Amino acid sequence: MDAVEKKVRAFVRVKPTADFAQDMIKFGRDNKSIDIYIKKDAKKGVVNNRQTDWSFRLDGVLHNTSQELAYETVAKKLVSEALVGYNGTIMCYGQTGAGKTYTMTGTTAEYKHRGIIPRAIQQVFKAIAHSVDSFITVRISYLEIYNETLSDLLSTTTSSGTSDTQMAVVDCPQGVYVKGLSIHSVSHEEDALNLLFEARETHITIDLMGETNRVIAEHTLNKNSSRSHCIFTIYIESRFRVFSDVRCINSKINLIDLAGSERLSKTGSEGQVLKEATYINKSLSFLEQIIIALADPRRDHIPFRQSKLTHVLKDSLGGKCNTVLVANICGEALHVEETLSSLRFATRMKWITTEPVINVTCDPEETVKALEKEIILLKQELAMHDNLVNRSLVTYDPLTDVQIAEIKSQIHKYLQGAIDEIDIMNIRQVQEVFKQFKLIVRQQEHEVEARLRSKYALIDKNDFATIAAAQKAGVIDVDRYLMGEKDGQDFGTRTTPISPKPGGKKKKSRKSSEQSKKEGTRSCLSGRELDAPLPSKSQVTISTRDLDVKERARNEDTANIDAQPSKPASVEDLQRPSSPPSKPVAFEQFKEECGSEINRIFKENKSILLARKKRSSTVARRINIIKHEMEDIKKALEAQRQERCQQGEYVDEKGHLIIDEKEFLLIMKLKDLKEEHRSGYAELQDLKAEIQYCQHLVDQCRNKLVSEFEIWYSESFLIPTYVQKALKPGGNIRPGMIPINRVMCLEEDEQDRFERMQETVLPAGPDSVSFYKAKMKIDQKHTYTRTMSSLEQMRKKPGHITATGKSKGPSCLHVT
Ligand code: ADP
Ligand code: MG
């Protein structure tokens, strides 16, 4: 809170008297100045002879002024400022009997004669009654300083109200307070007044008692006048809550009735009275010193602790509060010296500059609660405003998952060029957009690295040992080209350059890419990969050509999408990853998901094929053995025959040659072997046909698996969703790349449309159309002819089919 520089305000109040020294005291017309004239010879030696008249300028002269007007002039503003947080101090200074107590407390007999304290209490409670925003609590205390001893005038523990040795003035960061001084909460004006009046009664009684008990000599001026300083304090605590403005304001009003300021010489006191007067004068002269010090801007140390009074008043005088002084003077010529002294004091007070500040504190917990409440209110306010301007969809809550997904989709479309701009809806949306862009950039970085790793066997170009080892192993040739896989059945047999720097072999790469354009894009998956688990990184699984084709496809996609009007994101859009996975990874996924059935058929066919091949080789081996056996037997029979011829042949009565048992057994064995050989040979022939047939089925399955995968890969990761919709059954265009049978049965116009579509939306672009079409047709043709011929072969040997093919045939699975 910025402090505004202020001056201490000082007023003079003249006690009405019939014996007013008109010649000596004169008031200015504006009622703000007072002139004192003293005749030189009025009283020799007392008044400085060199000066006979003085002029004092003050903030107001209260002469013949009612208590009400005095209050309004002196205290009203200060009290009202205390209600908004400024501390305030009003002091009545003057000689005994000049009307300090009358001004400060007034008389309890008549309402209209009540002084500043009861009026201030009234003003505070009236303000509380009228306040709506704040919750105000009021407390009071009443301190007496008598002969440098502190007394609690409202103490309930010490009935007499006499000094409590436990009491002490304590400095703390929040200000000065009197330890041990009771502070009483008062919820009504009456409560406060009761305490005040009770204290006053007690005070006077003690005073009187003191006079009797402590044998205090009757004061020459006024026996009832207090020779102590009395400080009545009103503590105000206001808690404000206006929206998020939760403030706690603490202020206090010190209303001080100072002890008489008369000088010792005048009172003519002795003994105890002299001691009292000395104390009083000491504390007042310290007060005066302090005031002089406060008025001097060069002074940095103010000796507040010199006396109890100045110490207690430390934060009530020292600059940060509103301070008002009332100099009570008597109008009689007799008291002109004291009057002069009081006016001097008042004028000096006016020199003090103060900078009152509002004593405000904030409760963090309360502030948080209030801020939360205000946020809710503001949201409601905004929602109302949005409704009025038809922006009902705007929300101010954190984004939901659906909204975030929507933003993601928008960003992807924006990056692809499908939409020109992203509409700004609200701050949260803008923040989310930036967040998503950041994520995309990170993903792209990873993707590029992954793509490089999958494309190249990255070897540190300075790692000569690894390069040499790779060369030795034949992974790379001397020109650092990865050796292609030498598998006749591979679709993806190719050579891929390995270079530490991607693009280092730019020329070659482009050439390869262009070559691929001519040849058409081939599947990147080899036959071996179909069976094998994921290849290791060192195995080159995706060729430069594939990547180039994919890149081109993507670029062309973007170009095509550019022409399309923007559409809201579909669910597929939201589920699709921002970058396609590598083909080997995707292929594993495909085999488990969409391609699981084809893969199963493929595997089953392959296992049947293997079983047949195994059987075939067993049968072939057996035939060979039989053949050898037969030859052996034939040799033995020949030997037998020669032996028979040498010994002479026996013929029976019918002329049949008689052979011995050994030869007979050999002949029988040979016959059996021949039979076995024939059946084995027949089985082998059947198996060969079956193997051929199965081989074709396996090939067909392999082709289908790869082709279906290519389509699935394109549809899942490359072709924009809206194109896919058109390709779906019931859509504008029917998919035709694979399954082949669907292409073949397309109507002519549909076929045309499909071809047109292929030219524009195929993942590898128009250049790959011819390749795909040709590949499909040839595959189909080959499969068809091979299957037919093997079936023909099987049909030619019905007997064998019964034995082998028929029982095995149905176990082969057809994939169409
Ligand atoms: P102090 O407290 O300065 O010693 P008091 O306030 O006790 O003086 O005043 C002494 C007497 O003068 C009291 O009886 C008081 O009622 C009376 N008195 C003082 N000032 C006025 C005034 N302005 N109008 C009427 N009576 C007054
Ligand atoms: Mg008094």
Q: Enter the tokens of residue 440.
A: 């995309």
Ligand 1 within 6 A of CB of 328 = yes
Can you list the residues of the chain whose pLDDT is less than 50? 42, 159-164, 208-225, 478-574, 732-748, 799-812, 815-816
Contact 106 CB / ligand 1 (< 6 Å): no
Q: Could you tell me what percentage of the chain is helix, strand and coil, using 3-state DSSP and rounding each to the nearest 5?
A: 55, 15, 30
The predicted-structure confidence for 405-436, as pLDDT tens digits, reads as follows 989 898 989 998 988 888 887 788 888 999 99
Instruction: Measure 706 CA to ligand 1 centroid, in angstroms.
Output: 116
| Res 538: pLDDT | 37
User: Distance between CA 586 and CA 216 in Å, rounded?
Assistant: 110
State the distance from the centre of ligand 1 to the C-alpha of 98, rounded, in angstroms.
6
721 lines ligand 1 (CB under 6 A): no
CA of 15 to the centre of ligand 2 (A): 13
Residue type, 231: I
Of 102, 220, 221, 224, which is best to mutate to test ligand 1, by the most ligand atoms within 8 angstroms of its C-beta? Answer: 102
Nearest ligand 1 atom, CA 222 = 4
Residue 145: closest CA among 254, 280, 277: 280
Residue 17 Cβ < 6 Å to ligand 1 = no
Cα(763)–Cα(769) distance, rounded to whole angstroms?
10
According to the model, what pLDDT value does residue 466 have?
72
Is residue 105 lining ligand 1, measured as CB closer than 6 Å? no
Q: Token digits for 183?
A: 């502070």
Whole-model pTM: value is 0.50
Tokens of 618: 């067993």
Distance 18 CA to ligand 1 centre (A): 14
What six digits make up the tokens of 613?
């091949």
Residue 16 beta carbon below 6 angstroms from any ligand 1 atom: yes
- Determine if residue 217 is labeled as part of a ligand binding site: no
Compute the distance between CA of residue 39 and CA of residue 47 in angstroms, rounded to an integer: 9
Ligand 1 atom with least separation from CA of 98: 3
Does the annotation place 100 within a ligand binding site?
A: yes
Distance of alpha carbon 515 from alpha carbon 503, whole angstroms? 17
Please tell me the distance from the alpha carbon of residue 755 to that of residue 770, in angstroms, as a whole number.
10
Best residue for ligand 1 mutational test, from 15, 200, 284 (most atoms within 8 Å of Cβ): 15
Cα 490 to Cα 38, 416, 527: the distances in Å are 131, 35, 5
Question: Which residue minimizes the CA distance to atom 16 of ligand 1?
Answer: 102
Strand order in the sheet with 33-37: 25-27, 33-37, 53-57
| Any atom of ligand 1 within 6 Å of the Cβ of 471 | no
Which token pair is 684? 């082998």
CB of 544 within 8 A of CB of 455?
yes
Please give the C-alpha separations between residue 194 and each of 5, 144, 152, 778, in angstroms, as whole numbers: 37, 18, 16, 115
Whether 97 is in the pocket of ligand 1, judged by its Cβ within 6 Å, is yes
**606 pocket-lining for ligand 1 (C-beta < 6 Å):** no
pLDDT in tens, 432-482: 999 999 998 998 888 888 888 877 767 666 777 776 776 666 655 544 444
At residue 134, the pLDDT reads 75
Query: What is the chain's Cα-based Rg?
Result: 58
Cβ of 115 less than 6 Å from ligand 1: no
Structure confidence at residue 28 (pLDDT): 92
Which domains, and CATH codes, for the chain?
A: 6-157+167-362 (3.40.850.10), 371-397 (no CATH), 399-459 (no CATH), 583-724 (1.10.287)
Q: To the nearest 10°, the Cα dihedral for 147, 153, 155, 156?
A: 130
**Does the annotation list 175 as a binding residue?**
no
Q: How far is the CA of 560 from the centre of ligand 1 (A)?
A: 103
Contact criterion met (CB below 8 Å) for 186 and 139 = yes
Residue 148 corresponds to which tokens in the numbers above?
């440098």
Among residues 324, 281, 288, 323, the alpha carbon closest in space to that of 303 is found at 288
- How far apart CA 459 and CA 630 sit, in angstroms, is 62
DSSP 413-481: HHHHTSSS------HHHHHHHHHHHHHHHHHHHHHHHHHHHHHS----TT-HHHHHHHHHHTSB-TT-E
* Dist CA 408 CA 432 (whole Å): 9
Closest CA to 117 of 94, 90, 97: 90
Nearest to 737 by CA among 701, 761, 702: 761
Tokens 């495909």 identify what position?
A: 590
Which helix (H) or strand (E) segment holds residue 633: the answer is helix 596-647
Q: Is 408 exposed, middle or buried (0-12, 13-18, 19+ CB in 10 A)?
A: buried
**CA distances to 148, 363, 383, 787 from 374, in Å:** 52, 16, 14, 80
CB 227 within 8 A of CB 219: yes
Tell how far the Cα of 252 is from the centroid of ligand 2, in angstroms. 22
Residue 296 Cα to ligand 2 middle (Å): 30
What is the 309 CA–ligand 2 centroid distance (Å)?
Answer: 16
**H-helix or E-strand spanning residue 8:** none
Evaluate: CB of 101 within 6 angstroms of ligand 1.
yes
